[in-house]
Amino acid sequence: MKVPLLDLKEQYKSIKEEILKVTEKIFDSQYFILGPRVEALEKDIAGYCSSKHALGVSSGTDALLISLMAADMDAQQTVITTPYTFFATAGSIVRTGASPIFVDIDPDTYNMSPESLERVIASMTDKERASLKAVIPVHLYGQCADMDPILKIAKKYNLFVIEDAAQAIGAEYRGRRAGSMGDFGCFSFFPSKNLGAFGDGGMVITGSDELYDKLRVLRVHGSHPKYYHKLAGGNFRLDAIQAAIVSVKLKHLDKWTESRQENARKYRELFANSGIDDVIKLPVEKEDRHIYNQFVICVKDKRDDLRLFLNEVGVGTEIYYPIPMHLQECFLDLNYKKGDFPVAEHAALHTLALPIYPELSDDQLAYVVEKIAAFYKIKK
């Protein structure tokens, strides 16, 4: 049996007619950049994410970058984030000239630990604290970070909060939607996300009129009015084709999310009966609405052998992420070393993402667990 990590073709089959209809209209109109399709999606995403404003941008990475630019980051400043994330979170900080400061993660959710955040800020000198401008919690795998204490700490130290919600559209924390709690919420429409485009795309949401106005200007090279530049922005525009495709998909998103949650429930049942629950830690659901962009298990040992074995028997997996940010070669000048963030380093060595996409069959789910159980029973 084959169980790929993700099979977008199955999803496409179910919405093909809708997609072809809307894209044909765009081809006929020859209106490709920004415009009414993008505005319609912005309105829908603002509503879906309970935010006042939404701005379509070229990718999740650019959503982070433009938010940092709107927060006026520069080379003298620092931003706190987690070392256990996709590169773009830390990469976008560096691209503004600022420096990232990392804090360790919670061992259950893999999200920023508020205790570590408080500890790191408390240990700073006054000068270091004065340079600190923002914090970027990441809602990893589709579950929100523990936002209340993070927001409280940010308020205490007067920091911008930029939520990296690239993996978490529609996730909730104590009744609030991912992205809507901080100053900026950043989303990715990369095809493998729960709400994916047919290419790159992203969105920033904000509740602030002032920040929204600034984001709008930064998206078009800082031009306002046209060809007059008070700010140096970039080309962060979303195109009409991607916006229209994402709009079609948004109507199906809650149904797909429920299927992912249902698959997670089935995995839990299957693992509970597999006889190997002592070697596997399942995802811990701490917050209200986990949207399961990824279903990530943590295994006691032999993670890489397990991955090879699963690959041989037709099960796709991935490691998100094998090298924490503080150990990446391009960040060596930040002077972090192995051992600085033990929870993130442990996660990088022991976690494995299993297939969780909505169209998986019960037989496929059972097959994945059966093969993992077979591997550990042989290796015990």
Ligand X SMILES: Cc1ncc(COP(=O)(O)O)c(C=O)c1O
Residues that bind ligand X (CB under 6 A): 59-61, 85-86, 88-89, 138, 164, 166-167, 188, 190, 200, 202
| CB-nearer residue toward ligand X: 242 or 263 | 242
Angle between helices 60-70 and 87-95 (to 10 degrees): 40
Q: Where are the alpha helices (DSSP H) in the chain?
A: 8-29, 36-48, 60-70, 87-95, 114-122, 126-131, 147-156, 209-219, 240-250, 253-272, 303-312, 342-350, 362-379
Helix (H) or strand (E) holding 232: none
Q: What is the 3-state secondary structure (H, E, C) of 134-148?
A: EEECECHHHCCCCHH
**CB of 89 vs ligand X, minimal distance in Å:** 5
Identify the helix (H) or strand (E) that includes residue 256. helix 253-272
- Indicate the residue among 260 and 371 with the shorter CB distance to ligand X: 260
Closer to ligand X by Cβ: residue 134 or 372 = 134
Q: Among all residues, whose Cβ is closest to ligand X? A: 60
The least distance separating ligand X from the CB of residue 280, rounded to whole angstroms, comes to 24
Residue 280 phi, psi dihedral angles, 5° rounding = -125, 130
Q: Smaller CB distance to ligand X: residue 78 or 194?
A: 194
**Closest separation in Å from C-beta 201 to ligand X:** 7
- Cα gap 118→102, rounded to integer Å: 12
Least separation in angstroms between residue 144's CB and ligand X is: 13
Give ∠ CA 3-9-12 in degrees, rounded to 5: 140
3-state SS class at 31? coil
- What is the SS3 assignment for 277? coil
Residue 319 CB, nearest distance to ligand X (Å)? 14
Contact of 112 with 106, CB cutoff 8 Å: yes
Shortest distance, position 378 Cβ to ligand X, whole Å = 34
Compare residues 293 and 364 and give the one whose CB is closer to ligand X.
293
CA dist 38 → 57, 118, 184, 242, 340 (Å): 9, 39, 19, 8, 43
- For residue 171, the minimal CB distance to ligand X (Å) is 12
Number of C-beta neighbours around residue 278 at 10 A: 9
Query: Nearest distance from residue 45's CB to ligand X, in Å?
Result: 14
Q: Which is nearer to ligand X, 313 or 323 (CB)?
A: 323
Toward ligand X, which CB reaches closer, 295 or 376? 295
How far is the CA of 123 from the CAs of 80, 111, 119, in angstroms? 13, 21, 6
Contact predicate 60/88, CB 8 Å: yes
Return the number of the residue (138 or 279) whose C-beta is nearest ligand X: 138
Sign of CA dihedral 44, 48, 53, 59: negative
